[in-house]
Amino acid sequence: MNSISNLVSGSPGGDRTDIPAGERPRTLAKDVYARLKQAIFDFRMPPGQRYSEQELCGALEVSRTPLRLALHILAHEGFVANVGGHSAWMVRPLDLAYYEDLYDFRVELEVLAWRRAASHPSAPVLGELVAFWQAPAGQRPLEGHHVAEQDEMFHRTIVGLFGNRAMLRSFDELTDRIRIIRRLDFVSPKRIATTYNEHAALLDAVRDGDADRAERLIRAHIEASRVEIRRLTFHHLSLATSAARQGFQGTGAGS
């Protein structure tokens, strides 16, 4: 039992459901790709830690072929890297300066989308967003993971509706990269409540067609998130890296 033994979380046994008519190419490689990515985002594969293909095969219970496919795509995207020639794979250590860049970019992308949203005359599809984020305080879901998911959806929806496909694709990549630290933002109830309020205000600005106000709000909103993250990250970062350094084996009996 080692540090990555919990990577097997993926498929819970009987996934032999023969698809009747649904288009589901479901390859092992894609599965592995998704699971690895998830493991990275969940800090179950701490940055900096090294993994050989063999041990990853063992942990994920797949052969090398699909694993390598996933690994190479992940590497191409910059999430992992095999440093030297024949060393091993490692999760790219998260570079705080780079996250500043990501947030800067995100601000500009969203400003664009929100300005367009506010300039748009009708926006019927916003109804669902309004329903969720402007719900009475008593009916608001407060569970961290759920809110985080809805938050991602919220921002993505705007970019998708008022940007275009190219912008959305770029935004999705951006979100992917940020996700690993963004999740740390939805832990305290205070932050969650703030998120509800800020989202509600944004929707109001859009409804009023006030692009300038929308821009101001989205800038402030993302900035608040960024500041929060900046603080949390240092905490989590030290935890994760120190845990990785110790091999993460303090949970049970050693080998």
Partner DNA sequence: CGGCTTAATTTGGGATCCCAATATGAATTC
Partner DNA sequence: GAATTCATATTGGGATCCCAAATTAAGCCG
Which candidate, 66, 63, 44, places its Cα nearest to that of 54? 63
Q: Could you tell me which stretch among 103-111, 121-129, 142-150, 222-230 binds a second copy (CB under 8 A)?
A: 103-111
73 part of the interface to DNA, by CB under 7 A: no
Q: Please choose which of DNA, a second copy, none residue 208 contacts, taking the beta carbon within 5 to 8 angstroms, the exact cut-off set by kind.
A: none
Contacts of 80-83 with CB under 8 Å at 24 or more apart are 80/36, 80/40
By rule CB under 8 A, what count of residues binds a second copy?
Answer: 34
In the complex, minimum distance from the CB of residue 160 to DNA, in angstroms, rounded to a whole number: 28
Q: Of 8-27, which residues contact a second copy (CB under 8 A)? A: 18-20, 23, 25
What residues pair up with 89 in beta bridges, in sequence order?
51, 82
79 part of the interface to DNA, by CB under 7 A: no
In the complex, minimum distance from the CB of residue 67 to DNA, in angstroms, rounded to a whole number: 8
In this structure, the strands spanning 89-91 and 80-82 are: antiparallel
Q: Please choose which of DNA, a second copy, none residue 244 contacts, taking the beta carbon within 5 to 8 angstroms, the exact cut-off set by kind.
A: none
128 part of the interface to a second copy, by CB under 8 A: no
State the distance between the two ends of the chain, measured CA to CA, in whole angstroms. Answer: 7
Is the CB of residue 33 less than 8 Å from the CB of residue 74? yes
Largest distance between two CA atoms of the chain = 65
255 part of the interface to a second copy, by CB under 8 A: no
Q: DSSP character for 20? A: S
User: How far lies 208's CA from each of 147, 195, 247, in Å?
Assistant: 25, 20, 54
Q: Of 12-31, which residues contact DNA (CB under 7 A)? A: 25, 27-29
Q: Please choose which of a second copy, DNA, none residue 170 contacts, taking the beta carbon within 5 to 8 angstroms, the exact cut-off set by kind.
A: a second copy
29 part of the interface to a second copy, by CB under 8 A: yes
In the complex, minimum distance from the CB of residue 173 to a second copy, in angstroms, rounded to a whole number: 7
Q: What is the number of H-type helices and E-type strands within the chain? A: 9, 3
Q: Of 177-236, which residues contact a second copy (CB under 8 A)? A: 177
In the complex, minimum distance from the CB of residue 55 to DNA, in angstroms, rounded to a whole number: 7
Q: What length does the chain have? A: 255
130 part of the interface to DNA, by CB under 7 A: no
Question: Rounded distance, CA 192 to CA 133, Å?
Answer: 11
Among 2, 11, 65, 197, binds DNA (CB under 7 A): 65
User: How far lies 41's CA from each of 37, 92, 180, 254, in Å?
Assistant: 6, 12, 4, 26
**Helix-strand-coil percent breakdown of the chain, rounded to 5?**
65, 5, 30
Interacting residues toward a second copy by CB under 8 A: 18-20, 23, 25, 29, 68-69, 72-73, 76, 78, 81, 83-85, 95, 98, 100-102, 104-105, 108, 112, 163-167, 170, 173-174, 177
Interacting residues toward DNA by CB under 7 A: 25, 27-29, 51-55, 62-66, 68-69, 72, 82, 84-89
